[in-house]
Structure 1
Amino acid sequence: MTAVAALLQRSGRRILLATFAVAAIGSLLVPEPFAFGQTSADESSPIFGVKIPAGYRQWELIAPSREAGSFDELRSILGNAISMKAYRDSALPFPDGSILVKLAWKQVPSAEFAEAFVPGHTTTVQVMVKDSKKYPSTGGWGFGRFIDGKPVDETQHQTCFACHEANVKEHDFVFTRYAP
């Protein structure tokens, strides 16, 4: 570990990469009380009816991300097999059946390595489901945002597509790029 620490101290860029790696690994290891299973019928998102997908924590990592500013979060974006194939094939638009899940945590300094940040408490689980017939008015995507396994209110869900439409329409309304 000392050699790794020495390498990371040589460059701020390497520290940032290490932070993302820790976040990605943490996304797979940090237990969540609502991480497994699916939300019940009354716990689907307003407007879209999206639920937290069963078994999503075993999906592949698409990429880690960091949200600065007031969010100050580390995030990991996971994809089901359909979305992963689309990413690998560079196929846009994403096919129906694609599901993306974003896990978000407040970032906290690592107790073991002062230059790194690791996931702290969970903030949200966010879900995007591609179904062009069910969601034609929102680019074929349905959205769900959950805190402690419960969907947030309708007002917050009304902001989902507007943000994606304004910023990433050319990438089928998806922010995250695949990091192989």
Structure 2
Amino acid sequence: MKGSLLFAIAMSITGVGITAAFSAAVESQPENASPIYGVTLPEGYRDWKFIAAAQEAPPLDELRAVLANDIAADAYKKGTLPFPDGSVLVKLAYKRQQSTEFPPATVPGAPTTVQVMVKDSKKYPESHGWGFGRFVNGKPVDVAQHETCLSYHVGNVKDHDYVFTRYAH
């Protein structure tokens, strides 16, 4: 009986500790952090190095540009795989539209999403070292959209450190 009471007290204390730790972790996460991974939009990312462009077929029908911080850009240039911790990739996505000045050209229209991948092997070991974030109008999108990020990367680009984009020389 005494052992059971001590066990119950220990479990209560542990439960409170876990709840407090979880609450502290949630409270310490920035307001505009993505669900699941806690990724935020990096400061100054629009000034980063251009890596490649892509066109997404319908139904998305988007033009995309991938930018990289210095760590990731250097890894791309050197062909370093896996990407080193500290690598950050940002994909800017826009609806595709016909140019009004030059009709044969396709140009970016309305922005759709900004997607972010952050390499941190210690923080994201369950997702092969990568944390993901998707943002619309600067705000993170819901959990369901974040849950699909990892599965697309694992299912298609495992041999390229889970990164789709190749360097456009």
Pair in the same fold by TM > 0.5: yes
- How far apart in 1 are the matches of 2:59 and 2:137? 20
Aligned to 1:121: 110
Aligned to 1:162: 151
Aligned to 1:97: 86
1:172 partnered with 2:165: no
1:70 partnered with 2:59: yes
Aligned to 2:14: none
Aligned to 1:19: none
After superposition, where does 1:32-43 map in structure 2 within 5 Å? 41-43=30-32
Aligned to 1:151: 140
- C-alpha displacement of 1:41: 1.6
Q: Which runs of 5+ in 1 are unaligned?
A: 1-39
- How far apart in 2 are the matches of 1:157 and 1:65? 21
- Give the percent of matched residue pairs that are identical in Structure 1 and Structure 2: 60
Aligned length: 141
TM-score w.r.t. the length of structure 2 is 0.82
Q: Which runs of 5+ in 2 are unaligned?
A: 1-28
Q: Which one-letter code corresponds to 1:90 in the other structure?
A: G
Which structure is larger by alpha-carbon Rg, 1 or 2? 2
- How far apart in 2 are the matches of 1:125 and 1:156? 13
- C-alpha displacement of 1:102: 0.1
Once the two structures are superposed, residues 101-140 of structure 1 have per-residue CA deviations (whole angstroms, 9 ceiling, x without a partner) of 0000001100111111100000000000000000011110
SS of the equivalent of 1:158 reads helix
Superposition RMSD in Å: 0.9
SS of the equivalent of 1:101 reads strand
Once the two structures are superposed, residues 71-122 of structure 1 have per-residue CA deviations (whole angstroms, 9 ceiling, x without a partner) of 0000000000000110011000000000000000001100111111100000
Moved over 2 A (4+): none
TM-score w.r.t. the length of structure 1 is 0.77
- C-alpha displacement of 1:69: 1.7
